[in-house]
Amino acid sequence: MTILKRFIITSAIAGICSTGSFAAEGSEKFVPALPGVKSIEMNLNGEKFTLMRNQTAGNKISPLYETTNRGTAQPIVIAPGVETLGELEFIEYMKKAQTDETIAVIDSRKPGWYAKLRIPGAVNVPYTNFDEKDTAIEMMEDEMGVVQKEDGTLDFSNAKTLALYCNGYWCGQTPGMVKKAKFSLLNMGYPAEKIKYYRGGMQAWTSLGYTVVGDGK
């Protein structure tokens, strides 16, 4: 067999395989929430819901997140040691938090934003609480496993792993809670390795059509 014939046959086989692969992908009957998975039944912080992506063809992003003239883009890494998450990693923390009390899924936005539209199962801990020392400590004790000792020092030995989000790439609310506020998590001594930042936040979550709670207005 000549080299030319081998090339033609090999190319034809490759074309058939490629066509078959794309056809298989195009024949999917659902929009996956996770690779190969349509939906996940969840029970997080007493809230039962089905985590999935909107299956309606032509579905559009919420009006709350359709404009682009807002905020300043946040860096990928907001502080040394703080891990940045994508959607799949964030969902893994959601899944684990159902049975693991050492993980907290937290919405760091103001209550108004939280009421309008949020990721189900997330606990609202507004970043504004970290402008004052007393409220910062109260939030860390109530929601994050931190203990204030009798001498006033903070014990972070049982601090929870936090999966935090806010409005999105341009939103400074989570970065504010983590490092910019006067009594931010890091300023108060919270372990950086226990802080996980879902940078895409509600902007990315809604753009992918994932399950949300609220009227979106």
Q: What is the mean pLDDT of each successive set of 10 residues along the chain, which is 217 residues long? A: 41 33 47 96 98 95 92 96 98 98 98 97 98 98 98 98 97 97 97 98 97 89
Q: Over the range 166-178, which residues count as b (16 or more CB within 10 Å of their CB) and which as e?
A: bbbeebebbbbbb
User: What's residue 217's pLDDT?
Assistant: 72
**How far is residue 119's CA from residue 163's CA, in Å, rounded to a whole number?**
12
**How far is residue 206's CA from residue 202's CA, in Å, rounded to a whole number?**
6
**How far is residue 125's CA from residue 107's CA, in Å, rounded to a whole number?**
6
User: What's residue 27's pLDDT?
Assistant: 45
Least Cα distance to 122 among 152, 157, 167, 158 occurs for 167
Least Cα distance to 105 among 153, 49, 66 occurs for 49
Fold exhibited by the domain 39-207: Oxidized Rhodanese; domain 1 (3.40.250)
User: What's residue 28's pLDDT?
Assistant: 61
